[in-house]
Structure 1
Amino acid sequence: MPLVSEPHDDDDGRSDAIVNDRTCIVTREAGSPETLIRFVAAPDGRVVPDLKRQLPGRGCWIKAERALVDRAAQKKLFARALKTEAKADADLGALVDRLIAADLAGMMNMARKAGQFVTGAMKVDAAVRSGAAIAVFHAADAAADGVRKIDQARKARSLGEDAGQNIPSFSLFTSAEMDELMGQNAFIHACALAGQAGEGVVKRATMLEKYRGFGQSGAEGGAGQPKQ
Protein backbone atom coordinates (compact mmCIF):
# COMPACT_ATOMS: atom_id res chain seq x y z
CA MET A 1 0.00 0.00 0.00
CA PRO A 2 1.26 3.53 -0.71
CA LEU A 3 2.85 5.41 2.14
CA VAL A 4 1.92 8.91 1.02
CA SER A 5 -1.74 9.81 1.09
CA GLU A 6 -3.90 12.86 1.26
CA PRO A 7 -4.51 14.14 4.80
CA HIS A 8 -7.63 12.56 6.22
CA ASP A 9 -10.72 14.09 7.79
CA ASP A 10 -11.31 13.53 11.47
CA ASP A 11 -14.95 12.64 10.91
CA ASP A 12 -15.21 9.10 9.55
CA GLY A 13 -18.97 9.26 9.22
CA ARG A 14 -19.58 6.30 11.54
CA SER A 15 -22.57 6.08 13.86
CA ASP A 16 -22.39 7.09 17.52
CA ALA A 17 -22.81 3.44 18.51
CA ILE A 18 -19.65 2.50 16.64
CA VAL A 19 -17.75 5.60 17.78
CA ASN A 20 -18.48 4.73 21.42
CA ASP A 21 -17.17 1.18 20.89
CA ARG A 22 -13.58 2.22 20.17
CA THR A 23 -11.46 0.33 22.70
CA CYS A 24 -7.72 -0.38 22.57
CA ILE A 25 -7.15 -4.13 22.22
CA VAL A 26 -3.97 -3.86 24.33
CA THR A 27 -4.96 -1.60 27.23
CA ARG A 28 -8.76 -2.13 27.01
CA GLU A 29 -9.20 1.63 27.38
CA ALA A 30 -11.78 3.51 25.32
CA GLY A 31 -10.59 6.41 23.21
CA SER A 32 -11.39 8.92 20.48
CA PRO A 33 -10.29 8.87 16.82
CA GLU A 34 -7.52 11.32 17.75
CA THR A 35 -6.02 8.89 20.28
CA LEU A 36 -6.55 5.54 18.53
CA ILE A 37 -5.41 3.89 15.31
CA ARG A 38 -7.68 1.50 13.42
CA PHE A 39 -6.36 -1.76 11.94
CA VAL A 40 -8.00 -4.19 9.56
CA ALA A 41 -7.07 -7.47 7.89
CA ALA A 42 -6.23 -7.25 4.18
CA PRO A 43 -7.60 -9.94 1.82
CA ASP A 44 -4.33 -11.86 2.22
CA GLY A 45 -4.72 -11.83 6.02
CA ARG A 46 -2.01 -9.25 6.62
CA VAL A 47 -2.77 -6.61 9.27
CA VAL A 48 -2.77 -3.10 7.82
CA PRO A 49 -3.22 0.28 9.54
CA ASP A 50 -6.26 2.33 8.49
CA LEU A 51 -5.37 5.91 9.42
CA LYS A 52 -8.30 7.30 7.42
CA ARG A 53 -10.69 4.87 9.13
CA GLN A 54 -12.28 4.07 5.77
CA LEU A 55 -11.16 0.54 4.87
CA PRO A 56 -13.97 -2.04 4.75
CA GLY A 57 -14.34 -4.98 7.07
CA ARG A 58 -14.04 -5.59 10.77
CA GLY A 59 -11.55 -3.29 12.47
CA CYS A 60 -9.77 -3.10 15.81
CA TRP A 61 -8.20 -0.21 17.65
CA ILE A 62 -4.94 0.50 19.44
CA LYS A 63 -3.89 3.64 21.31
CA ALA A 64 -1.57 5.68 19.11
CA GLU A 65 1.64 4.49 20.78
CA ARG A 66 4.40 2.55 19.04
CA ALA A 67 5.04 0.36 22.07
CA LEU A 68 1.42 -0.81 22.11
CA VAL A 69 1.36 -1.57 18.37
CA ASP A 70 4.55 -3.62 18.78
CA ARG A 71 3.07 -5.44 21.78
CA ALA A 72 -0.12 -6.30 19.89
CA ALA A 73 1.95 -7.76 17.06
CA GLN A 74 4.22 -9.74 19.39
CA LYS A 75 1.33 -11.17 21.43
CA LYS A 76 -0.76 -11.92 18.31
CA LEU A 77 -3.68 -9.87 19.61
CA PHE A 78 -4.87 -8.89 16.13
CA ALA A 79 -6.12 -12.37 15.21
CA ARG A 80 -8.30 -12.53 18.30
CA ALA A 81 -9.64 -8.98 17.89
CA LEU A 82 -10.33 -9.32 14.16
CA LYS A 83 -11.66 -12.87 14.55
CA THR A 84 -9.57 -14.12 11.64
CA GLU A 85 -6.12 -15.56 10.99
CA ALA A 86 -4.68 -12.05 10.75
CA LYS A 87 -0.91 -11.80 10.81
CA ALA A 88 1.03 -8.66 11.71
CA ASP A 89 4.38 -8.05 10.00
CA ALA A 90 7.34 -7.53 12.31
CA ASP A 91 7.75 -3.96 11.03
CA LEU A 92 4.08 -2.96 11.53
CA GLY A 93 5.02 -0.38 14.17
CA ALA A 94 7.55 1.21 11.82
CA LEU A 95 5.01 1.24 8.99
CA VAL A 96 2.52 3.14 11.15
CA ASP A 97 5.25 5.69 11.98
CA ARG A 98 5.95 6.22 8.28
CA LEU A 99 2.25 6.62 7.48
CA ILE A 100 1.69 9.20 10.23
CA ALA A 101 4.82 11.06 9.10
CA ALA A 102 3.61 11.06 5.49
CA ASP A 103 0.19 12.32 6.61
CA LEU A 104 1.88 15.12 8.57
CA ALA A 105 4.02 16.09 5.58
CA GLY A 106 0.93 16.18 3.38
CA MET A 107 -0.87 18.45 5.83
CA MET A 108 2.17 20.73 6.05
CA ASN A 109 2.08 21.12 2.27
CA MET A 110 -1.65 21.80 2.39
CA ALA A 111 -1.21 24.38 5.15
CA ARG A 112 1.60 26.04 3.19
CA LYS A 113 -0.72 26.47 0.20
CA ALA A 114 -3.36 27.93 2.53
CA GLY A 115 -0.86 30.44 3.94
CA GLN A 116 -0.94 28.75 7.36
CA PHE A 117 2.57 27.27 7.38
CA VAL A 118 5.61 29.48 6.92
CA THR A 119 9.31 28.63 6.77
CA GLY A 120 12.56 30.45 7.38
CA ALA A 121 14.07 31.52 10.71
CA MET A 122 13.24 35.24 10.35
CA LYS A 123 9.61 34.63 9.36
CA VAL A 124 9.17 32.11 12.15
CA ASP A 125 10.67 34.47 14.73
CA ALA A 126 8.36 37.26 13.59
CA ALA A 127 5.29 35.02 13.67
CA VAL A 128 6.12 33.84 17.18
CA ARG A 129 6.70 37.35 18.51
CA SER A 130 3.49 38.66 16.90
CA GLY A 131 1.41 35.85 18.37
CA ALA A 132 0.49 34.45 14.95
CA ALA A 133 2.34 31.14 15.42
CA ILE A 134 0.51 28.27 17.11
CA ALA A 135 3.48 25.85 16.95
CA VAL A 136 7.05 25.86 15.70
CA PHE A 137 9.02 23.14 13.93
CA HIS A 138 12.77 22.58 13.61
CA ALA A 139 14.82 20.03 11.78
CA ALA A 140 16.23 17.76 14.48
CA ASP A 141 19.74 18.63 13.32
CA ALA A 142 19.11 22.38 13.00
CA ALA A 143 21.89 24.66 14.22
CA ALA A 144 21.58 25.27 17.96
CA ASP A 145 21.87 29.04 17.53
CA GLY A 146 18.84 29.23 15.23
CA VAL A 147 16.76 27.06 17.55
CA ARG A 148 17.83 29.12 20.57
CA LYS A 149 16.76 32.41 19.00
CA ILE A 150 13.29 31.07 18.23
CA ASP A 151 13.07 29.54 21.71
CA GLN A 152 13.84 33.00 23.11
CA ALA A 153 10.95 34.40 21.08
CA ARG A 154 8.68 31.64 22.40
CA LYS A 155 9.71 32.39 25.95
CA ALA A 156 9.22 36.13 25.50
CA ARG A 157 5.75 35.53 24.11
CA SER A 158 4.78 33.24 27.00
CA LEU A 159 5.93 35.89 29.50
CA GLY A 160 4.37 38.83 27.64
CA GLU A 161 0.78 39.69 26.84
CA ASP A 162 -0.05 35.99 26.38
CA ALA A 163 1.49 35.02 29.71
CA GLY A 164 1.15 31.32 30.43
CA GLN A 165 0.32 30.44 26.82
CA ASN A 166 3.07 28.14 25.59
CA ILE A 167 3.77 27.71 21.87
CA PRO A 168 4.74 24.04 21.39
CA SER A 169 7.92 23.17 19.52
CA PHE A 170 8.53 19.98 17.53
CA SER A 171 11.74 18.38 16.23
CA LEU A 172 10.47 15.24 14.51
CA PHE A 173 12.71 14.81 11.46
CA THR A 174 16.33 15.33 10.51
CA SER A 175 17.07 17.43 7.43
CA ALA A 176 17.66 14.27 5.40
CA GLU A 177 14.37 12.74 6.52
CA MET A 178 12.56 15.96 5.68
CA ASP A 179 14.14 16.06 2.21
CA GLU A 180 12.84 12.55 1.60
CA LEU A 181 9.36 13.37 2.91
CA MET A 182 8.86 16.85 1.46
CA GLY A 183 11.37 17.32 -1.35
CA GLN A 184 11.71 20.97 -2.30
CA ASN A 185 9.30 21.94 0.49
CA ALA A 186 11.69 20.74 3.21
CA PHE A 187 12.68 23.28 5.86
CA ILE A 188 14.99 23.90 8.79
CA HIS A 189 12.67 26.18 10.78
CA ALA A 190 8.92 26.59 10.27
CA CYS A 191 5.74 27.43 12.13
CA ALA A 192 2.04 26.71 11.82
CA LEU A 193 -0.46 29.56 11.90
CA ALA A 194 -4.06 29.57 13.12
CA GLY A 195 -6.60 28.06 10.75
CA GLN A 196 -7.99 24.63 9.91
CA ALA A 197 -4.91 23.51 7.97
CA GLY A 198 -2.42 24.92 10.48
CA GLU A 199 -4.29 23.28 13.34
CA GLY A 200 -4.32 20.04 11.36
CA VAL A 201 -0.52 20.19 11.21
CA VAL A 202 -0.26 20.59 14.98
CA LYS A 203 -2.73 17.75 15.59
CA ARG A 204 -0.74 15.35 13.39
CA ALA A 205 2.61 16.44 14.81
CA THR A 206 1.29 15.84 18.33
CA MET A 207 0.06 12.40 17.31
CA LEU A 208 3.42 11.44 15.78
CA GLU A 209 5.30 12.70 18.81
CA LYS A 210 3.08 10.73 21.18
CA TYR A 211 3.25 7.66 18.94
CA ARG A 212 7.02 7.76 19.28
CA GLY A 213 6.63 7.96 23.07
CA PHE A 214 7.88 11.48 23.62
CA GLY A 215 4.78 13.23 25.01
CA GLN A 216 4.40 16.99 24.88
CA SER A 217 7.10 19.17 23.34
CA GLY A 218 9.19 22.01 24.80
CA ALA A 219 13.09 23.03 24.52
CA GLU A 220 16.17 21.42 22.91
CA GLY A 221 16.27 17.78 21.88
CA GLY A 222 17.83 15.43 19.38
CA ALA A 223 16.34 13.71 16.36
CA GLY A 224 12.69 13.02 16.95
CA GLN A 225 12.88 14.07 20.59
CA PRO A 226 10.53 16.54 22.22
CA LYS A 227 11.77 19.80 23.62
CA GLN A 228 11.38 20.59 27.27
Structure 2
Amino acid sequence: MAPRSKDAERTCLVTREAQPPDGLIRFVVDPSGQVIPDIREKLPGRGAWVGGRRDLVETAIRKKLFARAFRREVTVDEDLAGQVDRLLEDQALSALSIARKAGLVRTGFGKCESALASEDVAALMHALEAAEDGKRKLAQALRRRQALERERQENAAPRRPVRVIDGFFSGSQLDLALGGANVIHAALLAGGASGSFLGKVEALARYRSRDLNLKEDGIEAPAGLAP
Protein backbone atom coordinates (compact mmCIF):
# COMPACT_ATOMS: atom_id res chain seq x y z
CA MET A 1 0.00 0.00 0.00
CA ALA A 2 1.34 3.44 -0.92
CA PRO A 3 2.25 5.75 1.99
CA ARG A 4 -0.24 8.42 2.96
CA SER A 5 0.43 11.86 1.50
CA LYS A 6 0.75 14.59 4.12
CA ASP A 7 -0.50 17.10 1.54
CA ALA A 8 -3.74 15.31 0.65
CA GLU A 9 -6.89 16.72 2.19
CA ARG A 10 -9.00 14.61 4.54
CA THR A 11 -12.72 14.80 5.27
CA CYS A 12 -14.01 15.44 8.79
CA LEU A 13 -16.51 12.80 9.93
CA VAL A 14 -18.71 15.45 11.53
CA THR A 15 -18.70 18.48 9.23
CA ARG A 16 -17.96 16.53 6.01
CA GLU A 17 -15.57 19.32 5.05
CA ALA A 18 -12.27 18.47 3.35
CA GLN A 19 -9.19 20.18 4.75
CA PRO A 20 -5.44 19.61 5.22
CA PRO A 21 -4.67 17.00 7.89
CA ASP A 22 -2.86 19.53 10.09
CA GLY A 23 -6.25 20.82 11.25
CA LEU A 24 -7.69 17.35 11.90
CA ILE A 25 -7.19 14.49 14.35
CA ARG A 26 -6.70 10.95 13.06
CA PHE A 27 -8.24 7.92 14.75
CA VAL A 28 -7.58 4.23 14.12
CA VAL A 29 -8.93 0.94 15.46
CA ASP A 30 -6.56 -1.21 17.51
CA PRO A 31 -6.53 -5.04 17.29
CA SER A 32 -9.14 -5.30 20.05
CA GLY A 33 -11.60 -3.11 18.14
CA GLN A 34 -11.03 0.00 20.29
CA VAL A 35 -10.97 3.42 18.63
CA ILE A 36 -7.79 5.26 19.65
CA PRO A 37 -6.35 8.69 18.75
CA ASP A 38 -3.36 8.77 16.41
CA ILE A 39 -2.06 12.26 17.21
CA ARG A 40 1.23 11.77 15.36
CA GLU A 41 -0.46 10.10 12.37
CA LYS A 42 1.95 7.17 12.49
CA LEU A 43 -0.24 4.18 13.39
CA PRO A 44 -1.03 1.62 10.68
CA GLY A 45 -4.46 0.86 9.32
CA ARG A 46 -7.46 2.71 8.01
CA GLY A 47 -7.87 6.15 9.56
CA ALA A 48 -10.90 8.26 10.37
CA TRP A 49 -10.50 12.03 10.66
CA VAL A 50 -12.27 14.55 12.86
CA GLY A 51 -11.79 18.33 12.97
CA GLY A 52 -9.35 19.36 15.67
CA ARG A 53 -11.90 20.58 18.23
CA ARG A 54 -13.19 18.80 21.30
CA ASP A 55 -16.83 19.50 20.48
CA LEU A 56 -16.42 17.78 17.10
CA VAL A 57 -14.86 14.69 18.69
CA GLU A 58 -17.72 14.59 21.21
CA THR A 59 -20.24 14.85 18.37
CA ALA A 60 -18.58 11.97 16.52
CA ILE A 61 -18.85 9.85 19.67
CA ARG A 62 -22.47 10.81 20.36
CA LYS A 63 -23.61 10.13 16.80
CA LYS A 64 -21.64 6.87 16.56
CA LEU A 65 -19.82 8.11 13.48
CA PHE A 66 -16.71 6.01 14.06
CA ALA A 67 -18.56 2.74 13.39
CA ARG A 68 -19.84 4.21 10.14
CA ALA A 69 -16.38 5.43 9.13
CA PHE A 70 -14.67 2.11 9.86
CA ARG A 71 -17.61 0.07 8.49
CA ARG A 72 -17.53 -2.28 11.46
CA GLU A 73 -18.48 -2.58 15.10
CA VAL A 74 -16.03 -0.64 17.25
CA THR A 75 -15.64 0.23 20.91
CA VAL A 76 -15.41 3.92 21.76
CA ASP A 77 -14.27 4.98 25.23
CA GLU A 78 -16.61 7.56 26.73
CA ASP A 79 -13.52 9.63 27.64
CA LEU A 80 -12.06 9.56 24.12
CA ALA A 81 -12.30 13.36 23.85
CA GLY A 82 -10.43 13.69 27.14
CA GLN A 83 -7.75 11.28 25.91
CA VAL A 84 -7.16 13.50 22.89
CA ASP A 85 -6.85 16.58 25.12
CA ARG A 86 -4.25 14.89 27.31
CA LEU A 87 -2.27 13.65 24.32
CA LEU A 88 -2.20 17.12 22.75
CA GLU A 89 -1.17 18.59 26.10
CA ASP A 90 1.62 16.02 26.55
CA GLN A 91 2.80 16.66 22.99
CA ALA A 92 3.06 20.40 23.66
CA LEU A 93 4.90 19.89 26.95
CA SER A 94 7.36 17.49 25.30
CA ALA A 95 8.09 20.13 22.66
CA LEU A 96 8.59 22.71 25.42
CA SER A 97 11.11 20.41 27.09
CA ILE A 98 13.02 20.15 23.81
CA ALA A 99 13.05 23.95 23.55
CA ARG A 100 14.53 24.12 27.06
CA LYS A 101 17.29 21.67 26.11
CA ALA A 102 18.02 23.89 23.11
CA GLY A 103 18.60 26.83 25.48
CA LEU A 104 15.51 28.72 24.34
CA VAL A 105 13.66 29.09 27.66
CA ARG A 106 14.08 31.61 30.48
CA THR A 107 12.22 30.93 33.73
CA GLY A 108 11.30 33.20 36.63
CA PHE A 109 9.82 36.69 36.71
CA GLY A 110 13.16 38.52 36.65
CA LYS A 111 14.60 36.53 33.76
CA CYS A 112 11.37 36.94 31.78
CA GLU A 113 11.46 40.69 32.31
CA SER A 114 15.12 40.84 31.23
CA ALA A 115 14.46 38.67 28.18
CA LEU A 116 11.63 40.95 27.07
CA ALA A 117 14.01 43.89 27.25
CA SER A 118 17.00 42.39 25.46
CA GLU A 119 16.28 39.09 23.69
CA ASP A 120 14.22 37.85 20.74
CA VAL A 121 11.24 36.52 22.70
CA ALA A 122 8.67 34.48 20.79
CA ALA A 123 6.28 33.72 23.65
CA LEU A 124 5.58 34.42 27.30
CA MET A 125 3.97 31.73 29.46
CA HIS A 126 2.02 32.05 32.70
CA ALA A 127 1.11 29.00 34.79
CA LEU A 128 -2.45 28.44 35.96
CA GLU A 129 -1.37 29.57 39.43
CA ALA A 130 0.19 32.84 38.23
CA ALA A 131 -0.94 35.87 40.23
CA GLU A 132 -2.59 38.74 38.38
CA ASP A 133 0.02 41.14 39.73
CA GLY A 134 2.87 39.23 38.12
CA LYS A 135 1.04 38.96 34.81
CA ARG A 136 0.24 42.68 34.92
CA LYS A 137 3.88 43.63 35.51
CA LEU A 138 5.07 41.46 32.63
CA ALA A 139 2.37 42.98 30.42
CA GLN A 140 3.88 46.36 31.30
CA ALA A 141 7.29 45.03 30.25
CA LEU A 142 5.73 44.01 26.93
CA ARG A 143 4.40 47.55 26.47
CA ARG A 144 7.81 49.04 27.24
CA ARG A 145 9.29 46.74 24.65
CA GLN A 146 6.77 47.92 22.08
CA ALA A 147 7.40 51.57 22.91
CA LEU A 148 11.12 51.05 22.31
CA GLU A 149 10.31 49.37 19.02
CA ARG A 150 8.46 52.47 17.86
CA GLU A 151 11.50 54.59 18.68
CA ARG A 152 13.86 52.48 16.60
CA GLN A 153 14.99 53.73 13.24
CA GLU A 154 12.82 52.77 10.29
CA ASN A 155 15.58 50.70 8.69
CA ALA A 156 16.02 48.55 11.80
CA ALA A 157 14.52 45.08 11.67
CA PRO A 158 11.45 44.94 13.96
CA ARG A 159 11.14 42.22 16.55
CA ARG A 160 8.42 39.64 16.22
CA PRO A 161 5.17 39.99 18.21
CA VAL A 162 5.24 38.10 21.51
CA ARG A 163 2.67 35.34 21.99
CA VAL A 164 1.18 35.03 25.48
CA ILE A 165 0.19 31.54 26.66
CA ASP A 166 -1.82 32.12 29.81
CA GLY A 167 -3.22 29.33 31.97
CA PHE A 168 -2.70 26.39 29.61
CA PHE A 169 -0.39 24.50 31.97
CA SER A 170 -0.08 24.16 35.73
CA GLY A 171 3.08 25.09 37.58
CA SER A 172 3.83 21.42 38.24
CA GLN A 173 3.55 20.65 34.52
CA LEU A 174 5.96 23.47 33.71
CA ASP A 175 8.30 22.24 36.47
CA LEU A 176 8.50 18.81 34.83
CA ALA A 177 8.88 20.14 31.29
CA LEU A 178 11.46 22.77 32.20
CA GLY A 179 13.39 20.91 34.88
CA GLY A 180 12.80 23.62 37.46
CA ALA A 181 10.91 24.20 40.67
CA ASN A 182 7.96 26.54 41.15
CA VAL A 183 7.95 27.72 37.53
CA ILE A 184 5.20 30.32 37.22
CA HIS A 185 6.46 32.52 34.37
CA ALA A 186 8.63 31.50 31.41
CA ALA A 187 9.87 33.27 28.29
CA LEU A 188 10.45 31.32 25.09
CA LEU A 189 13.13 32.64 22.75
CA ALA A 190 12.79 32.42 18.98
CA GLY A 191 14.22 29.31 17.34
CA GLY A 192 13.29 26.11 15.56
CA ALA A 193 12.36 24.20 18.71
CA SER A 194 10.22 27.06 20.01
CA GLY A 195 8.39 27.21 16.68
CA SER A 196 7.57 23.52 17.04
CA PHE A 197 6.21 24.11 20.55
CA LEU A 198 4.07 27.04 19.41
CA GLY A 199 2.55 24.93 16.64
CA LYS A 200 1.60 22.25 19.14
CA VAL A 201 0.19 24.66 21.71
CA GLU A 202 -1.88 26.25 18.94
CA ALA A 203 -3.32 22.80 18.16
CA LEU A 204 -4.15 22.42 21.87
CA ALA A 205 -5.75 25.88 21.94
CA ARG A 206 -7.82 25.04 18.88
CA TYR A 207 -8.97 21.77 20.46
CA ARG A 208 -10.03 23.60 23.62
CA SER A 209 -11.69 26.39 21.59
CA ARG A 210 -9.33 28.98 23.00
CA ASP A 211 -7.70 31.86 21.17
CA LEU A 212 -4.13 33.09 20.90
CA ASN A 213 -4.95 36.32 19.09
CA LEU A 214 -2.95 39.52 18.80
CA LYS A 215 -4.44 42.72 20.15
CA GLU A 216 -4.68 45.63 17.75
CA ASP A 217 -1.78 47.34 19.51
CA GLY A 218 0.49 44.43 18.62
CA ILE A 219 0.81 43.03 22.14
CA GLU A 220 -0.40 39.48 22.47
CA ALA A 221 -3.57 39.13 24.49
CA PRO A 222 -3.74 36.46 27.20
CA ALA A 223 -5.36 33.33 25.84
CA GLY A 224 -9.00 33.22 26.82
CA LEU A 225 -12.12 31.36 25.91
CA ALA A 226 -13.15 32.00 22.36
CA PRO A 227 -16.56 33.61 21.82
Bin for the TM-score computed over the shorter chain:
0.7 to 0.9
SS in 2 for 1:90: coil
| Cα distance between partner residues in 2 of 1:195 and 1:182 | 18
| Cα distance between partner residues in 1 of 2:17 and 2:147 | 38
Counterpart for residue 15 of structure 1:
5
Question: Is the Cα–Cα contact under 8 Å of residues 193 and 199 in structure 1 kept in the other structure?
Answer: no
Counterpart for residue 90 of structure 2:
102
Counterpart for residue 203 of structure 1:
199
Instruction: Determine which of 49, 66, 84 is the counterpart of 2:37.
Output: 49
User: Cα gap change, 1:86/1:185 in structure 2, threshold over 3 Å: closer, same or farther?
Assistant: farther
- Mind listing any 5+ residue stretches in structure 2 that lack a counterpart? 151-157, 214-219
Q: In the TM superposition, what whole-angstrom CA distance separates every residue of 1:75-113 from its partner, at most 9, and x where no partner exists?
A: 111111122222221101111111111111111111100
CA positional deviation for 1:219: 4.0
Q: In the TM superposition, what whole-angstrom CA distance separates every residue of 1:122-180 from its partner, at most 9, and x where no partner exists?
A: 2212222335111111102211121111111223334442789532211202324545x
Question: Is the Cα–Cα contact under 8 Å of residues 58 and 82 in structure 1 kept in the other structure?
Answer: yes
Matched, 1:74 2:69: no
SS in 1 for 2:22: coil
User: Cα gap change, 1:185/1:69 in structure 2, threshold over 3 Å: closer, same or farther?
Assistant: farther
User: Cα gap change, 1:219/1:24 in structure 2, threshold over 3 Å: closer, same or farther?
Assistant: same
| 2:5 maps to amino acid | S
| 1:140 maps to amino acid | L
Matched, 1:193 2:181: no
Question: Is the Cα–Cα contact under 8 Å of residues 105 and 189 in structure 2 kept in the other structure?
Answer: yes
Matched, 1:93 2:89: no
Q: In the TM superposition, what whole-angstrom CA distance separates every residue of 1:26-53 from its partner, at most 9, and x where no partner exists?
A: 1122222331111111111111110110
| 1:201 maps to amino acid | F
- Mind listing any 5+ residue stretches in structure 1 that lack a counterpart? 1-12
| Cα distance between partner residues in 2 of 1:82 and 1:66 | 20
| TM-score, scaled to structure 1 | 0.81
Alpha carbon RMSD of aligned pairs, Å?
A: 2.5
Question: Is the Cα–Cα contact under 8 Å of residues 78 and 87 in structure 1 kept in the other structure?
Answer: no
Counterpart for residue 169 of structure 1:
164
Question: Is the Cα–Cα contact under 8 Å of residues 192 and 201 in structure 1 kept in the other structure?
Answer: no
| 1:214 maps to amino acid | R
Question: Is the Cα–Cα contact under 8 Å of residues 97 and 208 in structure 1 kept in the other structure?
Answer: yes
Q: In the TM superposition, what whole-angstrom CA distance separates every residue of 1:58-83 from its partner, at most 9, and x where no partner exists?
A: 00111111111111111111111122
Instruction: Determine which of 211, 215, 219 is the counterpart of 1:215.
Output: 211
| Cα distance between partner residues in 1 of 2:15 and 2:77 | 21
Q: What is the percentage of aligned positions where both structures have the same residue?
A: 40
Instruction: Determine which of 27, 49, 60 is the counterpart of 2:48.
Output: 60
CA positional deviation for 1:21: 3.3
SS in 2 for 1:142: coil
| TM-score, scaled to structure 2 | 0.82
Question: Is the Cα–Cα contact under 8 Å of residues 104 and 194 in structure 2 kept in the other structure?
Answer: yes
